[in-house]
């Protein structure tokens, strides 16, 4: 009998990155993480979310070099500050009765 190779399932990470190629899904992912962070801030989760979205954009060749540089700079800032500025901003908006909404930019066709 021949050796039969059974296909293995894709990893969750592969599925996530592929699904984030869709701008609406990326926006929903970012918004979900930011809302979750309001109750239980986790700088590593915030940084991981940004990395996931960036990776998806890289995979679609939809990311400029300047955007990559901005991400690297923001990642350093978030690491150094423990993302406290973002958490304070989200908390202030919440106290004022607002919430952040993340939407994909409308592209002109």
- Is the residue at 65 inside a domain? yes
Residues of the chain with pLDDT > 90: what percent? 38
Q: Give this prediction's pTM.
A: 0.77
Please give the backbone phi and psi of residue 23, each rounded to the nearest 5 degrees, phi first: -60, -35
pLDDT in tens, 80-109: 988 888 888 888 988 999 988 899 988 765
pLDDT in tens, 27-78: 999 988 888 766 777 888 889 999 999 999 988 887 888 988 999 999 999 8
What range defines the domain where residue 30 resides?
12-95
* Count of domains observed in the chain: 1
- Is the residue at 19 inside a domain? yes
- Is the residue at 38 inside a domain? yes
- Is the residue at 2 inside a domain? no
CA distance linking residue 91 with residue 89, whole number of Å: 5
């Amino acid at each position: 009998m021949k050796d039969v190779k059974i296909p293995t399932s894709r990893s969750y990470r592969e599925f996530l990155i592929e699904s984030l190629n869709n701008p609406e899904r990326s926006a929903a992912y970012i918004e979900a993480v930011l809302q979750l962070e309001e109750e239980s801030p986790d700088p590593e989760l915030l940084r991981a979310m940004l990395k996931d979205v960036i990776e998806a954009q890289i995979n679609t060749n939809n990311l400029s070099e300047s955007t990559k540089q901005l991400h690297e700079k923001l990642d350093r800032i978030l690491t150094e500050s423990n993302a406290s500025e973002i958490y304070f901003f989200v908390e202030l908006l919440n106290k004022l009765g607002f919430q952040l909404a993340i939407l994909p930019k409308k592209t002109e066709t």
